[in-house]
Structure 1
Amino acid sequence: MSGALEILLVAAAVLLIAFRLFRAQRINGGGRWWLMPVVLAVVALREPGLVDHAHPYAAGTLMVLNVLTGLLTGAAWAWTSRVWREADGSLWAAGSKAAGAVWCGGILVRVALYGVGASLGITQHTPVLLLGLAATFLARGLLLNHRAALLGPTYGDGSGAPQSARRNNRAPRPKDRV
């Protein structure tokens, strides 16, 4: 892959992540949440330069650490995201300020890993980053779907509104007077 294309791909991935971080997204139970991690992993695994052949063990260790960082970042992103059910029964998730802090921490760890690699003379190319991003999206998707499943289905009168959102057939309270 050419240098310009690598930069474009990484910039697109970062913009997508930044856009998706705080934006509310509908969670589809069976949806295609797994598609982006699979595509990123396939692209990463098909590209040359995944492992520096001059330092295979050290480069492999850094790659594994990058993937583990991705898994932890994705899991923390999912656990720090707000997950809720709307009145119509649809499930939604949005990143919180803590999710932003998780992302900053994940970026710092990745920069540190690249710094360690550079100090050891290990060449790390875009496929390593893409594999880490695939792990991040995979962990986030798995945990968000798990958390959404824990909310359970809505029950009630067929309106789709959760029972906790409905009144118990009481007369409406008079509004407070100012």
Structure 2
Amino acid sequence: MEPQQIALMSVAVVVFVVYRQMMTRPTERRGILYFSGLMILAGLSGGGLVDTRHLALGVLILIAELAFAVGFGVLRASTVRVWRDPAGTAWSKGTGWTLVAWLASLASRIALFGAGYALGLASAPTTVLLFVGVTIAVQSLLVTRRGRALPGSAVRSSAEAPITS
């Protein structure tokens, strides 16, 4: 896949994900995890994640990118409003702070790319897919976890389950 295609696809994915996060949605969504998993796999399978000419520096930048992806996923998850309705379903909706955190996340990715370029590192365009996949997965997992932790959980423990014969 061409770098321009990867960039356009990544932008389209982020815009779509941010749009969906700003809507009221159930917190239990597996589809976004499958999708982010596919993005992570595409990023990993594309190769070239580390510039082998500058191995130590390339690994350091990749670790920084992954740390930023995880960190911003955690930050954005904390900005999402999560509540439980009377029926016991957990819901979530992004806030204005979620949008600000997304912009900061993207700015950090651009800054890391620029730093790598300034240091003479060759960057594979698939690192964008890895970054976006990781950050979306972390946020989704944490929002789901927050929904499950709310009082009045819709999930019954085995002790509360009805006895059937």
Partners of 2:140 and 2:46 in 1: CA distance: 25
Partner residue in 2 for 1:92: 91
Higher relative contact order (CA 8 A, sep 6+): 2
Off by >3 Å, runs of 4+ in structure 1 = none
TM-score (norm 2): 0.83
Partner residue in 1 for 2:73: 74
Name the SS of the counterpart of 1:92 in structure 2. strand
Matched positions, count = 154
Partners of 1:154 and 1:52 in 2: CA distance: 47
Q: Which consecutive unaligned segments of at least 5 residues does structure 2 have? A: 155-165
Report matched runs for 1:1-20 at 5 Å.
1-20=1-20
Structure with the higher helix share, 1 or 2? 2
Rg comparison, structure with higher value:
1
Report matched runs for 1:17-166 at 5 Å.
17-28=17-28, 31-153=30-152
Q: Deviations over 1:72-116 (max 9, x none)?
A: 111111111000112332211111111112112212221211111
Q: Which consecutive unaligned segments of at least 5 residues does structure 1 have? A: 156-178
Partners of 2:58 and 2:113 in 1: CA distance: 10
TM-score (norm 1): 0.77
Name the SS of the counterpart of 2:91 in structure 1. strand
The alignment's C-alpha RMSD in Å is 1.9
Q: Which amino acid aligns with 1:110?
A: R
